[in-house]
Structure 1
Amino acid sequence: MAAQNREKFSLSAKGIDVSLDLSVGHIEKFVVSMGDRTIAPFHRAPWADDASVQRSDGFPPHLKRLSIDFLCAPFGGSDVEPAPDHGWSANAEWIPFGLEEFGDGKTASFELCRKILGARVVKKLTVRDGHPFLYQSHHFSGGSGTLPIAYHAMVDLPRGGAISVSPKTLARTADGPLESEPLKGSSLLSYPAASERLDRFPTGNGAHVDLLAYPLGEDHVDLVMLLERQDNEIGWTVAARPSEGDMAIVLKSPKELPTTIFWYSNGGRRYQPWNGRHRGVLGIEEARTYFSAGHAASQMPNDLSSAGYPTTFSLGGEVRIRSVLGACPVFGHSTKYRSVDRSGGHLRVVNDDGSSMELPFDCAFLD
């Protein structure tokens, strides 16, 4: 089923319901139904429906409507072409223009009302009966120049969680924290810093934390980039929520998006609209960018691109970027997952105890 009004577009198939906030292009609803269970692990900001915030002229649209997942083009500051932070793709209206039904599913198409570096941008969202996944892609046609891009998914972890990831080569922080003024916010990690061990990353006070155990601490906001091992077939993150008995799954093509950025938002920002109330949130941001340094910094030669991790896409022809959001119950005796692979129309998730779960999946989508 698909429905729309001026503000949102709803799309559903058997076992999955999603909706898109057309004013900014954010996924505002993602609910999976499996048996008698309703699973909704992704995050929407507590002020997204606060009338006073929505009336304010002091916040960019993407922050006012901050929801589940959105495309950042560019990721970070828009300091090459005038636009709010994270670009028009996260701040401007998307216009529905097509609904294609096929076999067991349907694809809805939307066009961004503004061009980015002269490129037309089309969003496609696909759902399929029995698949606990939202398949999303973005298509850039024409334009010129280079552009850092990231998907910006967010998971709710109010009671903590255990994170598992596809093999990474390194975890790194940028030259400085997200908030440098103590009255505005505080960070926990060391900047700059790097570690090959995700379970032992340096903090600012000389200790170490496990990047895969949420929360890292209290009252902090941090950003750390994980470099994908370049021979990975797919990139994946599983954020298990033991208290809720479910988990979020985020998938990508490493060739398109060679890094994963974790954004730990746990009360570390003290100014409006955050006001210390944005807690228990993990951003899983699949990216091709130079940290969150912005458009211009990502275009410049840098240590990531020289190491084989490109930080921009080149526009001018046809560029397609894909991501998958999923959810299902936890399983097994561990809260950690050792592998995620695809074959025979299924995604197979393997627990650290050796048990596995197979989920219906479009195995060709990320090829």
Structure 2
Amino acid sequence: MFFPAEPPADARSIDWPHGRLTLHRLGAMLAPVVFTAPGQPDFSPMQIAPWHAEPIGAAQVGLMRGLRGDWPCVPFGRTDRPADLPASWSARTPHDGWGHGYSAHHDWTWLATDDPHTLALTIALPAADPIARLTRTVRAQPDAAVVDLSLCIEARVPCTLPVALHPTLRLDAGRVALDLPPHGPGLSYPVPAEPGRSRLAPDQRFDRLDAVPATDGPSADLTRFPQSQDSEDLLQLMALGGPVTARYLDCGWALALDWDRALLPDLMLWVSHRGRLYPPWNGRHLALGVEPVSGVFDLGRVAAPPADHPLSARTGLTLTPGQPLVVRSRFSARPLSAAECQP
């Protein structure tokens, strides 16, 4: 992947012995992140939207203009209710129209740090928002291929909101194997995530990510990429017991994602496999969102599931003014052994 010698004016970079990362003011988005090791090709696992340097990209608004890598979502989720969502999912009204939250669509402000391996950004939210301020800190560990992140959430009023982190991995770098820890049930989206382009059978429960009920056959294996068919799908895995690892078999690297599972107990997967055909996607977006979440898919702002749904208690994080809440996460990379490069 092309990696400019200097970051753009609205971004800053950290160079350290194990790589280089760039943090952007827009949405506090992190990407690219390039890991290095002696005798290994550079490893750049974060997706960057293919339209980022095109005129169609410059014409996008907010999040879509800079879509890339990892960013925080407070509150997490869409602000439009799917038209075919069953009536048993009661309606909720979001406090604004910013999908994934105001902070995902606006520029943050740099904070000074006294550590050359640390970058920090903050954003003050509008007065009508239940959140007063977010602060994001990104630190490269000087002696390891590890990036530590923290998100401090300060509430303006008492509230319970769906919250997620949004790591999005590239799937255009050859074969990828997704290794999961033990987890609870998996759940497919209650309706087709992208009408006419979703492959998974809606509103299904499953136990294994390599056997997810599908509409085009008995099951889909979502632990191996690229897939045999293009699609756009969302699903949620409950109660993960450890970090998630993506093995890039043709790159010879693995990327592990770990996070505070006491706060964000589940993992939402966004399989964006050339499924959206309209601009600016144009059938070319190939990425996997691996998103720690406290909430109900991306629906928690517009709907609540029926009481008997497995996610009915996933209402989000409870926030209190004067009591900042810090959510921590980590990316770590390592070269694969020859045996680990096998599917």
* TM superposition score normalised by structure 1: 0.80
* TM superposition score normalised by structure 2: 0.85
Q: 2:291 & 2:342 partners in 1: Cα distance?
A: 20
Counterpart residue number, 1:187? 198
User: Structure 1 pair 220/13, CA: closer, same or farther in 2 (3 Å)?
Assistant: same
Counterpart residue number, 1:129? 142
Alpha-carbon contact 1:162-1:335 (below 8 Å) kept: no
Counterpart residue number, 1:30? 33
Per-residue deviation at 1:323?
A: 1.3
Equivalent position to 2:309, from 295, 303, 312: 303
Residue 241 of structure 2 is aligned to residue 227 of structure 1: no
Q: How does 1:268-347 map to 2 (within 5 A)?
A: 268-279=275-286, 281-297=287-303, 303-304=309-310, 306=312, 309=314, 311-316=316-321, 317-335=323-341
Counterpart residue number, 1:42? 46
Which structure features the higher share of strand residues?
1
Q: 1:295 & 1:51 partners in 2: Cα distance?
A: 32
Counterpart residue number, 1:350? none
Alpha-carbon contact 1:39-1:328 (below 8 Å) kept: no
Q: How does 1:210-225 map to 2 (within 5 A)?
A: 210-225=221-236
Per-residue deviation at 1:39?
A: 1.4
Q: How does 1:1-367 map to 2 (within 5 A)?
A: 6-37=9-40, 38-54=42-58, 56=59, 59-78=60-79, 79-101=93-115, 106-115=117-126, 116-144=129-157, 145-158=159-172, 159-180=174-195, 182=196, 186-229=197-240, 232=241, 235-279=242-286, 281-297=287-303, 303-304=309-310, 306=312, 309=314, 311-316=316-321, 317-335=323-341
User: Structure 1 pair 118/302, CA: closer, same or farther in 2 (3 Å)?
Assistant: farther
Q: 1:294 & 1:120 partners in 2: Cα distance?
A: 21
Q: 1:289 & 1:13 partners in 2: Cα distance?
A: 35
TM-align CA RMSD: 2.4
Per-residue deviation at 1:82?
A: 1.6
User: Structure 1 pair 178/305, CA: closer, same or farther in 2 (3 Å)?
Assistant: closer
Alpha-carbon contact 1:305-1:311 (below 8 Å) kept: no
Asked which structure has the greater RCO (Cα within 8 Å, sep 6+), the reply is 2
User: Structure 1 pair 138/302, CA: closer, same or farther in 2 (3 Å)?
Assistant: farther
Q: 1:11 & 1:298 partners in 2: Cα distance?
A: 41
Alpha-carbon contact 1:30-1:42 (below 8 Å) kept: yes
SS across alignment from 1:39: coil
SS across alignment from 2:94: coil
Per-residue deviation at 1:223?
A: 0.8
Per-residue deviation at 1:136?
A: 0.7
User: Structure 1 pair 302/97, CA: closer, same or farther in 2 (3 Å)?
Assistant: farther
How many percent of aligned residue pairs carry the same amino acid?
23
Count of paired positions: 319
- After superposition, the C-alpha distances for 1:99-150 in whole angstroms (9 at most, x for unaligned) are 132xxx6332211143542421111111121221211111112312221111
- After superposition, the C-alpha distances for 1:216-255 in whole angstroms (9 at most, x for unaligned) are 33221111111124xx3xx311111111111222111210
